[in-house]
Amino acid sequence: MGFFLETLLGGLMTGMLYSLIALGFVLIFKASGVFNFAQGSMVLFAALAMARLAEWIPPWTGISNKLLVNLFAFGIALVIMIAVAWLVERLVLGKLVNQEGVTLLMATLGVAYFLDGFGQTLFGSDIYKIDVGMPKEPVIVLDKVFEGGVLVSQEELIAALVAAALVGLLALFFQKTSTGRALRAVADDHQAAQSIGIALKHIWVIVWSVAGFVAIVAGIIWGSKLGVQFSLSLVALKALPVVILGGLTSVPGAIVGGLIIGVGEKLSEIYLGPHLGGGIEIWFAYVLALVFLLARPQGLFGEKIIDRV
């Protein structure tokens, strides 16, 4: 029982981290109807900026307090991501108002390649580390209840809590504010949104900035887990099945989807692995996504697709 709980918890926490990246996809899709291929690259770019700035700030300014350095680095990284958002609107999306979704999708693919290359040119292409002082050693909880207790990684627990808080905030933003409503409106119909006086430009800059912010948080958490390197942009691939499962238009969907996949891959690895030969963790998410595409293409929480014929 203790072992099962441990696996379950580990899965939930990994799942929350998938959700965090998936959230970036959902945000931009909800607000502009674009599937943003550059989300993974934004995570890498933000993490690179964060890692390198934290390295550069002490010699530049003489500040040596680690917390202060990290805060500064975070602030500057945020400004950089907002600048990226502004440039994306200015140079790419702004030129493509009222175009087909596929056109916008291809444009984000271009943005992805650019960010990958530019980020590494600017910040270097070695492996860097982000150290925000996350506790690394696992703790044992519930040792009164089970023999041996349950081993929990503090780092993952904190990451999961941060992700959960972020998700709550974004859900409020989308559902309760007029800006959130305007974002949803823009995603549905550019022309109609313009006609009621919603400024497309501002909306896009806002939403890409928010996605940039999510990318920094995801970049810090994943970066301090895995180290900041090119492969970080591939973590985003794990978020694809999450959004398919949860539905591209749903913030809660991104969370639940992430949790299901996190838990599912851990449990199946442990309990099915011995029978099927292991390595399930690698493909589990994609097979599940495939099943969902066949059975329920809008995902668990996505808007039902209605077609009039």
- DSSP-based three-state secondary structure for 120: helix
What residues numbered 290-309 form the site for other proteins, per CB under 8 A? 303, 306
- Residue choice 191, 274, 277, 294 for contact with other proteins (CB under 8 A): 191
For other proteins, the closer CB: 177 or 231 = 177
CA distances to 3, 115, 164, 218, 262 from 16, rounded to whole Å, are 20, 25, 7, 10, 8
Report the residue from 165, 189, 278, 291 that binds other proteins according to the rule CB under 8 A: 189
Q: Which amino acid is at 8?
A: L
Considering the complex, state which of residue 86 and residue 173 has its C-beta at the smaller distance from other proteins: 173
Stretch touching other proteins by CB under 8 A, among 131-139, 149-157, 195-203, 228-236: 195-203
Q: d(Cα 87, Cα 212) in Å, to the nearest integer?
A: 12
Is 100 near other proteins (CB under 8 A)? no
Stretch near other proteins under the rule CB under 8 A, chosen from 197-205, 225-233, 251-259, 264-272: 197-205
Contact 36, 25 (CB under 8 A): yes
198 is an interface residue for other proteins by CB under 8 A: yes
Pair 52, 123: CB distance under 8 Å: yes
Nearest to 45, CA basis, from 80, 8, 97: 80
Instruction: Quote the tokens at residue 86.
Output: 């502004």
Among 2, 7, 184, 296, binds other proteins (CB under 8 A): 184
Q: Summarize as ranges the residues that interact with other proteins (CB under 8 A).
A: 169, 172-173, 176-179, 181-182, 184-185, 187-189, 191-199, 249, 303, 306
